[in-house]
Chain A
Amino acid sequence: MPDALIARSALRPHVAPPSTPAGDVGATLREVEGLTLASVAALGGREAELAEAVRAAYGLDLPTAPKRIASGAAAFIWAGPGKWLASSTAPNADFTGLPAAVADQSDGRAVLRLSGPRAREILATLTAIDLHPRAFAPGDAAMTHAASIAIHLWQVDEAPTYEFAAFRSYAATLWRWIVHAGATRGLDARLG
């Protein structure tokens, strides 16, 4: 019998080299592994039904603006009008029961977490959106690009901690761009 298909990291040390700061740690870069991810798109005219199902199953109100909402293991991140990225840290999480077009993305996207006092400065060298706390705060999300790589970005806390999902085949390039941006800013980057 064949092995079950298991989502596997897109990153390996030879394509995503570590970075060790010479002095104080300004920020840490890690991969967020073990997530179940799914793209969720409302079916035409059935947005309210989907919102009700998400409320019933997860106790969350689907955002209609670029926001991330989370409760327990599950989170929904706005991904455009009528579209969301669903994520869960729970083992065996399954979003396919929602009344929507749901496609698994668990091994289609890589999620990176950049956190620390200089995380904003590092990310700002790669992306053009305004990350100032007045413009972008915990719970805010954006779809944009970092060094021309499409990213789905959200802020988690005021450390600040950012997480961003990129298409799996771009994950290593994005990782190396962040390592370059963090080279003079005390970046501690390593896998696992």
Chain B
Amino acid sequence: MRIACPHCGPRGVDEFSYLGDATVTRPTDPADLDGFAAYVHERRNPAGRHRELWQHALGCQSWLVVTRDTRTHAIEAVEAARDVALARAGGES
């Protein structure tokens, strides 16, 4: 599998570290225990399109959001995680 780092170009998967599910979001309310339990522990295991966090650990160190088909390993999109987080926050930096 090769991942096209938006900063470095396509590199072998051996340069990247998998860092988890990119679809979960941290609850904003610190008292939301059910929300935190779900955020920490509950994961879907889709056969198909999935969004994942990867880090280009042996490269530019950037955190990335990779949209990947778990059945074929086909990669649909690779985005800088910072851009994804900013877009989610409404573009505030």
Contacts and interface: CB of A to CB of B under 8 A. Distances in A.
A152 B12 CA distance: 16
Contact of A81 (B11, B12, B80): B80
A144 B7 contact: no
A10 interface: no
A3 to B, nearest CB: 35
B60 A129 contact: no
The size bracket of the interface on B is 10 to 19
B66 to A, nearest CB: 17
Contact of A128 (B7, B8, B12, B60): B12
B11 A144 contact: yes
B91 to A, nearest CB: 14
Contacts of B59: 80, 142-144
A150 interface: yes
A65 B62 CA distance: 14
A80 B7 contact: yes
A79 interface: yes
A145 B15 contact: yes
B8 A143 contact: yes
B58 interface: yes
Contacts of B80: 81
B93 interface: yes
B62 A145 contact: no
A18 interface: no
Contacts of A21: none
Contacts of A45: 93
Contacts of B9: 66
A98 B52 CA distance: 36
Contacts of A83: 60-61
Interface of A: 45, 65-66, 79-81, 83, 128-129, 142-145, 150
Given A144-B58, A145-B15, 17 more contacts: A45-B93, A66-B9, A66-B60, A79-B60, A80-B7, A80-B62, A81-B7, A81-B60, A83-B60, A128-B11, A128-B12, A128-B14, A143-B8, A143-B59, A143-B60, A145-B14, A150-B58
